[in-house]
Amino acid sequence: MNIFLASSEVHPYSKTGGLADMVGALGKTMVQAGHRVGVVTPLYLGVRERFPRMMRLGLPLDFPLGMNRASGEAWSLEPMEGLTVYFVDQPALFQRSGLYEQYGIDYADNAERFMFFSKAVVHLALHLPRKPEVLHLHDWQTAFAAVFIHHQRRLPQWHAAPRTCLTVHNMAYQGLFPASQYALANLPWDYFVPDGVEFYGQTNYLKAGIAFADLLATVSPRYAREITTPEYGCGLDGLLRHRSAALSGILNGVDYDEWNTTKNPCLPYPYSVNDLTGKSANKRELQREFGLPEIGDVPLFGSIGRLVDQKGVDIMLGALEQMLGANLQFVLLGAGMPRFECAFRALASRFPSQVAVRIGFDQALSHRIEAGSDFFLMPSRFEPCGLNQMYSLRYGTIPVVRATGGLDDTVIDIRDDRDRANGIKFSVYSSPALAKAIRKALALYAEPELLQWFRRNAMAADFSWEWTAKQYVALYERMLATARPQPTG
């Protein structure tokens, strides 16, 4: 099968979160399964310098954007046989210090940037010599491509257009812009209707993809159910219920070539489920790196991620305020909303022997935190899939999570299954509920044999990409076998 993946970020070329990891790993795994894969992504600042072997394609990109035009070019790189990465080069739109924002503020022209990118994705899919059968879109930044493909099918030779699948990674980010920005699509206005692109008088990029993609997916089975409800659907639950027959929940996988404890250049000491000695040594190194007292018998909690409301940062701060009277340590790596960054810095200054904070992103350090921590805090308000809890499991670090989305799908509480328990879950979104879960973690830490049992169960959990890729292939085959009835738009 010839497959195109389109994403605004792809590891190792660009990354702000789990989207990049997912697309990078899915592409590689699809190739290993015998498929031909193209990945399309913007050419951001510094990428060409880091990957100088990329080559210019003789395929110019020149599209109308409303009343104006924008032109660029495409580059390609073949990191492995069967996998080609196509970079959309438009310096005015993509050569910037951030992918989507600067100083915490979205770029004012994001509508133009990702409308151009969506047009480029479709252009490549339709005009490269090796045309894809499947165009797999990811999140709002590529979702408008589903509308362009749908429109292509209304024209002569529509059968040449690939089938489209849209994976929604996070319903909270929809690409919502003023109605006037729809003109950037240069499409008939009959798509700008309530059952199409229009959303309460605005242009909604993600809604466009949900309305017009052939099949829909999201990144965990529970989240697929959650987003059809008003609580989690972010205003699009009605449309998602209407398209529920086209919606699947496929859990993201983990790239165990990178996230492992035995052959990992990021870890000072290797360890395994059969020999956890190195985990204790990594804990001491992590304490030293963060300037915390190097005490072996104090439970160390870690957290890595964006400091935003979705991640439960507010209840984490509240719970830590309650729990720092206990014998525990806490380390954080993350960045996000200034008020949360300041709050964690203040917490570290008040409890210097228990709390240490690094503001920013550091891939190697994230491995060391996962390996050196005893527990990992992930109290998300909502979590489409989550990856850090799966990394934690492989690293023998017990996740403490709220039972939502992919966290509920991947972590097993002792109340769920005593024999396979590998984590601690709580349900109510509140600081007291999280504090109670932390107390359970402290009680678990005080029982070394039970803690070892949890760790062994955790490290035995398998979320390999091979299984995830098989589910996507089945979805593609279903999509190719059955043509969806065309909407009237």
pLDDT tens readout for residues 110-147: 999 999 999 999 999 999 988 999 999 999 999 999 99
**Residues 472, 455 share a domain:** no
Range of the domain at 369: 277-462
CA dihedral 236, 241, 247, 249 (to 10 degrees): 80
**Residues 302, 197 share a domain:** no
258 is a domain residue? no
54 is a domain residue? yes
CA distances from 181 to 71, 149, 316 (A): 19, 19, 38
Q: Which residues does 265 contact at the CB level (< 8 Å), separation at least 6? A: none
229 is a domain residue? yes
Give me the pLDDT at residue 84, please: 98
**Residues 289, 245 share a domain:** no
Q: What is the full per-residue pLDDT of the chain (489 aa) written as tens digits?
A: 999 999 999 999 999 888 998 999 999 999 999 999 999 999 999 999 999 999 999 899 999 999 999 999 999 999 999 999 999 999 999 999 999 998 878 999 999 999 999 999 999 999 998 899 999 999 999 999 999 999 998 887 666 789 999 999 999 999 999 999 999 999 999 999 999 999 999 999 999 999 999 999 999 999 999 999 999 999 999 999 999 999 999 999 998 989 999 999 999 999 999 999 999 999 999 999 999 999 999 999 999 998 999 999 999 999 999 999 999 999 999 998 999 999 999 999 999 999 999 999 898 999 999 999 999 999 999 999 999 999 999 999 999 999 999 999 999 999 999 999 999 999 999 999 999 999 999 999 999 999 999 999 999 999 999 999 999 999 999 999 975 455 444
Nearest partner of 244 among 216, 219, 222, 220, judged by Cα: 216
396-419 residue pLDDT tens = 999 999 999 999 999 999 999 999
**Residues 169, 190 share a domain:** yes
* Contact indicator for 11, 21 with CB cutoff of 8 Å: yes
Nearest partner of 8 among 163, 173, 211, judged by Cα: 173
**Residues 333, 246 share a domain:** no
150 is a domain residue? yes
13 is a domain residue? yes
Give me the pLDDT at residue 159, please: 65
Give me the pLDDT at residue 488, please: 47
263 is a domain residue? no
**Residues 330, 191 share a domain:** no
The 10 Å Cβ neighbour count of residue 372 is: 27
Global pTM value: 0.89
Give me the pLDDT at residue 383, please: 95
**Residues 304, 162 share a domain:** no
Report the domain count for the chain.
Answer: 2
**Residues 294, 244 share a domain:** no
CATH number, residue 113: 3.40.50.2000
CA distances from 211 to 178, 190, 215, 486 (A): 19, 13, 10, 11
259 is a domain residue? no
**Residues 433, 380 share a domain:** yes
Q: How is 476-488 classified by DSSP, letter by letter?
A: HHHHHHSPPPPP-
**Residues 129, 84 share a domain:** yes
420 is a domain residue? yes
**Residues 368, 346 share a domain:** yes
**Residues 237, 111 share a domain:** yes
Give me the pLDDT at residue 489, please: 44
* Contact indicator for 9, 19 with CB cutoff of 8 Å: yes
